[in-house]
Amino acid sequence: MRWAGLGYTHVCTVDIPRDAQTVIFPNKYRSDKIIILDTPVHFMNHEMWKDDDICKLIVHQNGSALKYVKHQTEDICKLAVKQLGTALQYVKNQTDEICKIAVQQNGYALQYVKTPTVEINELAVKQNTNSWICIPR
């Protein structure tokens, strides 16, 4: 049997048999044997994106994952832009507070602010002086 790589586009539940040789890395496992327990589902269609607690854990590690979150809450959006300011581009309902957090993390997030204010512009430039190029004229 040959391993068919899915290119990290699908998610499924697997079991690792007791007789498998497994190596544990910081964020992943490698094993010479796995048993796929269910049908692989495309990453963006997985049920996990409907669970707020799981989404919080995911965007805390990778803010750009916000684009897959089905039900964006203010808390989830704040976590995402705190981790990666430019995740602001995926925020469906931007608030001043979310925008401020985003530009304080990365001044270039200013380019994704739908309704920039003087204060948000100033925070962006304070974080990165080159972000002035994102200020709308």
Predicted pLDDT of residue 10: 83
Q: What is the pLDDT of residues 8-59, one digit of tens each?
A: 788 888 999 999 999 988 878 899 999 999 998 888 888 889 999 999 999 9
Predicted pLDDT of residue 124: 96
Encoded amino acid at 31, one letter: S
Averaged pLDDT for residues 115-125: 96
Averaged pLDDT for residues 121-130: 96
Query: Both tokens of residue 71?
Result: 């039900």
Record the pTM. 0.79
Could you tell me if 106 and 120 are in contact, meaning their C-beta atoms sit under 8 angstroms apart?
A: no
In the chain, the percentage of residues whose pLDDT exceeds 90 is 74
Predicted pLDDT of residue 7: 59
Averaged pLDDT for residues 97-125: 97
- Cα separation, 129 vs 116, in Å, equals 16
